[in-house]
Amino acid sequence: MRLGVIGYGLRIGQVLDELKLVDDGCRVAAITDVRYEEIRDNWTAVQGEVPACYESPEEMLANERLDGVLIGTRCSLHTEMALKVLPTKLPLFLEKPVATHYEDLLRLKRGFESYPSPVLVSFPLRASPLVSLVKEVLESGKIGTIEHVQAVNNVPYGGVYFHYWYRDERETGGLFLQKATHDFDYLNHLIGQRPVSVCAMVSKQIFKGDRPAGLKCADCEDNGSCPESTVSMTNRKLMPSEWEHCCFSEDTGNEDSGSAIIKYESGMHMSYSQNFFARRKAGSRGARLLGYKGTLEFDFYTNEVKVFMHHQPRVETYTIDPGEAHFGGDAVLAQNFIGMMKGIDQSASTLESGLTSALMCLRARESAQTHMFQDIAWS
């Protein structure tokens, strides 16, 4: 498999590692990236032959014989790069979110309608063994039809959105698009209904302050005592060195918590809340799905599913062996993408699902800004 990469960042590097584990014949044949010289200089023998470099995706696509393309640019460029690849009909691995603005999302939707190419959106949670088990239990009818959902994501590594480049809201589009896009997608997958409207609220209560813009932890006089310091002896092993900016400076972007209530086509609704200053064992990610006959709850961090029967004195507990990257979902997506490149598999995480999830996030952001319900519709 000859792969072309547009934007060779950390995340795409992880995906490439997963692809090689599935099929060691996968190799990067060409790269388009503004950091190409740095990438080339750090290329190792384990990674294989140094790939060809191109200044533009158009040039790469015109000159290389590729089996698939992966897009791992910063978020604001996902749509633009995808629109360059779709006309080639090559299998495309597209990082989430698929767009950060409604105008881009609509362009991508129209582009895909014109060129319905094979696309795999990077939504590993829906592919994880845990979610697969939950889907199996739900489809058995054990709890009845889903009539209410309570979902949560308390992010224990939330500092990345305030210390690192993710603090730039022009790139992230806000944290619904960064985190909730994953959760909305796997929850849509489990619920099996179309979302129709949303109301939302965000808060910025912790990661704000009057420290100078551009301040870095290494230059702060309080870096030995600040609990969020990335250079203190306490946190050095917990926070990568790239997380260098002060999260209490006046230029820190992003909300630090957000909630949404989403109505689905049957009339049932889901509440969802995410938080970015929970730490350590306070981290949790999962949901409670309630039917008339029972309640199912699960948490990615405990790798456990529980089913509480409503009319019998019984609780069933399932434990999943912990997966590795993205709770085991990355390995499943890698297998799926290789199957797509070989022409023997369909996408397990389609662009349609990516468009829906991004639209939900954008409407939630709009609701938080306007303090009004928003229809989840193309308008």
With cut-offs at 50, 70 and 90, classify the pLDDT of residue 297.
very high
Interatomic CA distance for residues 354 and 105, integer angstroms: 10
| Helices and strands counted in the chain (H then E) | 13, 15
Domain positions in the chain are 2-124+330-349, 126-206+254-323+358-375, 208-252
8 A C-beta contact, residue 332 and residue 322: no
Task: Judge whether residue 365 has pLDDT over 90.
Answer: yes
CATH superfamily for 2-124+330-349 is NAD(P)-binding Rossmann-like Domain (3.40.50.720)
Q: pTM value?
A: 0.95
Q: For the purposes of burial, counting CB atoms within 10 Å of the CB of 345, is it exposed (0-12), middle (13-18) or buried (19 or more)?
A: middle
Give pLDDT tens digits for 85-97. Answer: 999 999 999 999 9
Interatomic CA distance for residues 17 and 225, integer angstroms: 38
Interatomic CA distance for residues 107 and 357, integer angstroms: 16
What's the average model confidence in pLDDT over 361-369? 98
What pLDDT shows up at residue 157?
Answer: 93
Phi, psi angles (nearest 5°) of residue 340: -65, -40
Percentage of residues in the chain having pLDDT higher than 70: 100
| Both tokens assigned to 3 | 């792969």
What's the average model confidence in pLDDT over 190-211? 97
| Mean confidence (pLDDT) of the chain | 95
What's the average model confidence in pLDDT over 322-336? 91
Residues paired with residue 198 on neighbouring β-strands, in sequence order = 262, 374
| Three-class secondary structure of residue 332 per DSSP | helix
Residue 327 has a CB neighbour count (10 Å cut-off) of 20
Task: Judge whether residue 45 has pLDDT over 80.
Answer: no
What's the average model confidence in pLDDT over 140-149? 98
Task: Judge whether residue 47 has pLDDT over 80.
Answer: no
CATH superfamily for 126-206+254-323+358-375 is Dihydrodipicolinate Reductase; domain 2 (3.30.360.10)
Strand ranges of the sheet holding 284-290, from the earlier edge strand across to the other edge: 315-319, 304-309, 294-299, 284-290, 148-154, 269-275, 257-264, 195-203, 374-375
With cut-offs at 50, 70 and 90, classify the pLDDT of residue 196.
very high
Q: Where are the beta strands (DSSP E) in 244-314?
A: 257-264, 269-275, 284-290, 294-299, 304-309
What pLDDT shows up at residue 69?
Answer: 98
With cut-offs at 50, 70 and 90, classify the pLDDT of residue 232.
confident
What pLDDT shows up at residue 85?
Answer: 98
